[in-house]
Amino acid sequence: MNTLLWGALPYVAFALLVTGLVWRHRYDTFGWTTRSSEIYESRLLSLASPVFHYGILFVLAGHLLGLFVPASWTDAIGVDEHVYHLFSLIGGTLAGLLAITGIALLVYRRRTNAPVLLATTRNDKFMYVLLVGEIAMGMYAKVTNSSFSSGYDYRTTIAPWARSLFTLDPRTDLMTGAPLTYRIHAVLGMILIAVVPYTRLVHMFSAPVQYLFRPYIVYRSRGPLTEQPRPRGWERLDA
């Protein structure tokens, strides 16, 4: 079980993520979008969506910092465990609160606004349950295992395990000591990573950073007027 969860599942999730992205790009570039519902309802969305997205971006940054920056590095710049813990507790909880407030509002909006609800697929509902569960579990794990004076130091167990995944030598034994809530959070997280390409979450991989660097006006040539293989959505209707 240990090996399955902490030795195999991470790689399965990663493989599903990568193959899923490639598959979706080839099979369904047309559907690669979040199908915005802003046109139905914008008042609540204009508040909730930025709150959630900025919150979740802070959360992501926090996870990258916590998992992939070893304690020895932060020690080297004079940040000891207690200072780091306070920073992680307060910063992380604030970011988590932003994200959870945002997504709560978003789900409320989705549930109460008739056109928005009608445009919600089963796939979306599954994704929302998983996402909300994951965020809530993370908050719960953090808050129940911490106080201002001390807290569970995941940088001696979970973080080294996460880094060991990249050297293809997973130290599964490290995870056995972690609190159950953290372990559930980690498993849900891996499932979430695995389903990203198969849900609307895929939109995170089309963050349009290139917009900052391209010329304003885009010209494109019509190209040769020959019969080309038709991408999905452009199949011939036939006479």
Partner 1 sequence: MRVLAQVAMVMNLDKCIGCHTCSVTCKQTWTNRSGMEYAWFNNVETRPGQGYPRRWQDQEKWRGGWRLNRRGRLTLRAGSRVARLANIFANPVLPGIKDYYEPWTYDYRNLVNAPLGEDYPVAEPRSLLTGKPMKIEWSANWDDDLGGSVEHGDADPLVVRARAQGEQAAEKVRAAFEQTFMFYLPRICEHCLNPSCVASCPSGAIYKREEDGIVLVDQDHCRGWRQCVTGCPYKKIYFNHRTGKAEKCTFCYPRIEVGLPTVCSETCVGRLRYLGVVLYDADAVTAAASVPEDRDLYEAQLGVFLDPEDPEVRRAAERDGVAHDWIEAARRSPVHALVSRYRVALPLHPEYRTMPMVWYIPPLSPVVEALTETGFDGEDAGNLFGAIDTLRIPVEYLAGLFTAGDPAPVRASLEKLAAMRAHMRAVNLGEAESGSPSEAADAVGMTGRGIEEMYRLLAVAKYEERYVIPTAAMGEARRLEESALPAECSLDHDGGPGMGGEGIGTGGPGPFGEDSGRRRLPLVSLENFHALRRRQTGDDEAQR
How many residues touch partner 1 under the rule CB under 8 A: the total is: 60
CA 46 to each of CA 94, 103, 202, 233: distance values in angstroms, whole numbers, following the listed order:
20, 13, 21, 31
Q: Which residues contact 236 (CB under 8 A, 6 or more apart)?
A: 230
Q: Which residues contact 230 (CB under 8 A, 6 or more apart)?
A: 236
Q: For residue 144, state whether it binds partner 1 (rule: CB under 8 A).
A: no
Q: Is residue 161 within 8 Å of 172, Cβ to Cβ?
A: yes
In one-letter notation, the amino acid at residue 42 is S
Q: For residue 176, state whether it binds partner 1 (rule: CB under 8 A).
A: no
1 or 217: whose CB is closer to partner 1?
217
169: number of Cβ within 10 Å: 8
Q: For residue 49, state whether it binds partner 1 (rule: CB under 8 A).
A: yes
177 or 231: whose CB is closer to partner 1?
231
CA 224 to each of CA 116, 166, 228, 235: distance values in angstroms, whole numbers, following the listed order:
42, 45, 9, 18
Distance from C-alpha of 104 to C-alpha of 83, rounded to nearest angstrom:
31
User: Residues 4, 12, 50, 144: which binds partner 1 (CB under 8 A)?
Assistant: 50
User: Residues 3, 33, 150, 156: which binds partner 1 (CB under 8 A)?
Assistant: 33
Q: For residue 31, state whether it binds partner 1 (rule: CB under 8 A).
A: yes
User: Residues 37, 88, 146, 181: which binds partner 1 (CB under 8 A)?
Assistant: 37
User: Residues 35, 82, 111, 125: which binds partner 1 (CB under 8 A)?
Assistant: 35
25 is in an annotated binding site: no
- Please report, to the nearest 10 degrees, the dihedral formed by the alpha carbons of residues 217, 223, 225, 226 taken in order: -140
Residues 62-121 contacting partner 1, CB under 8 A:
114-115, 118-119, 121
Residue 54 Cβ vs partner 1, minimum distance, rounded to whole Å: 8
Question: What's the distance, CA 162 to chain centroid?
Answer: 16
Distance from C-alpha of 221 to C-alpha of 226, rounded to nearest angstrom:
14
Q: For residue 19, state whether it binds partner 1 (rule: CB under 8 A).
A: no
Pick the piece of the chain touching partner 1 (CB under 8 A) from 7-15, 136-144, 187-195, 231-239. 231-239
List, as residue ranges, the binding site for heme b.
53, 63, 185, 203
Binding residues (CB under 8 A) for partner 1: these are 27-42, 45-47, 49-50, 52-54, 114-115, 118-119, 121, 123-124, 198-200, 203, 206, 208, 210-212, 214, 216-222, 225-227, 231-239
